[in-house]
Amino acid sequence: MNVASTNNVVGLHTNRVFESISAYLMKVERRSEHTRYNYEVAIRRFFMWHAKKSIEDLEVKDLDILNERMIRYQAHLLDDYDYGHNYVNALVAPIVKLYEHLSRNRYNVKAEDVRLDKLSDDGESYGKLTVKEAETMAKLAMKQKKGQEKATLIRVAYTTSFRKSSLLHIKWSDIYLDANSQNYIVKIIGKGNKKHSRPLSPDLYNEMLKIKEQTYYKKYNDNYVFHLSDNTILAMMKNLRAEMNISEDRNIVFHSFRNVAANYIKETGGDIEEIRSQLGHSNYSSLRHYMSDDEDYANMAGIRMLEYIDDNILEKLNKEELLQIINQQSESIKIILQREAKKIISKKENK
């Protein structure tokens, strides 16, 4: 694509590129302030990579781009940052929309030159982490620089299932104490400008407060909880994978934390509606991988509820046999049993 010089474009000046981008973002803001913010971030990020300039300094010549350059940008986001398909699609779409806007406003550009084939939905492409693995990562992250902040980010990530972009935009003012449950509630505006809220245990909230005690943290006064860059999080995950000997073929990335709770719900018998609510999806199309394709007829409800089992059958087993059954269960089931055991032990100790 060849961009005409300023002499060949009516009324076009080198400083008008930023004015045109600003006008486009104003239009987006009428639909949603949150969308406008995401679009601006995507546009700034692209031109900093493509032209090594902020959008305030762009010239008409900086708009010149071949489609193969966009292919390289897509690969950069996928390979250098471990971003998932959906997030990469979300970062590329605003660039296409911007070039459509520029084309309508007498710039000699074409949206086709920046348009890419949409990457497939990658709901299944992130490697799975168990609850224990996620917690181990949080503990190991404590040893890294900014350890308290990194460890807390991981714990908030896998308990709330918020996306990384939402986690990094949590403000202290977004968190409040729920008097009924005595848990803390964090509210965010997520994908599609939708509001989501998740509970934080008092212990986890206290871990968050410890971030404020860190010496380096005193320089921040923007009300945001986390101040970790994409590169910092990328390096953190790389170090954690190495320390835990996690092979590359497992494809464990930061986004893997988002699905920990959903997998826990599935393994402990929760239904698809609970999973949908946890992940904040508005529909079920992205939840296919939480539904089994294999029909296990022997374990369907119509068979299970008619099967007679002696109510006292567990009493016929000795300690070793009971432990054998427990140890054969999934990690999520064992966590439930351990939690119940803890309650019984606490009651005994408090007598």
The answer to whether 94 touches 39, Cβ cutoff 8 Å, is yes
Check: pTM over 0.85? Answer yes or no: no
User: What's residue 148's pLDDT?
Assistant: 97
Q: Cα separation of 234 and 80, whole Å?
A: 9
The answer to whether 50 touches 73, Cβ cutoff 8 Å, is yes
User: What's residue 10's pLDDT?
Assistant: 37
Token digits of residue 87? 């997030």
User: What's residue 299's pLDDT?
Assistant: 47
The DSSP string of 51-63 is TSS-GGG--GGGG
Q: Cα separation of 55 and 246, whole Å?
A: 40
Architecture label for domain 131-290? Orthogonal Bundle (1.10)
> What's the angle, vertex CA 91, arms to CA 285 and CA 130, rounded to 5?
55
The series of mean pLDDT values per 10 residues for the chain, 351 residues long, is 40 71 92 86 94 94 94 85 77 94 93 89 67 92 96 92 87 91 83 73 94 94 93 92 90 85 67 63 51 46 52 82 80 74 82 72
Angle, helices 260-267/272-279, rounded to nearest 10 degrees: 170
User: What's residue 273's pLDDT?
Assistant: 66
Where are the chain's structural domains?
6-113, 131-290, 311-350
User: What's residue 95's pLDDT?
Assistant: 96
User: What's residue 327's pLDDT?
Assistant: 81
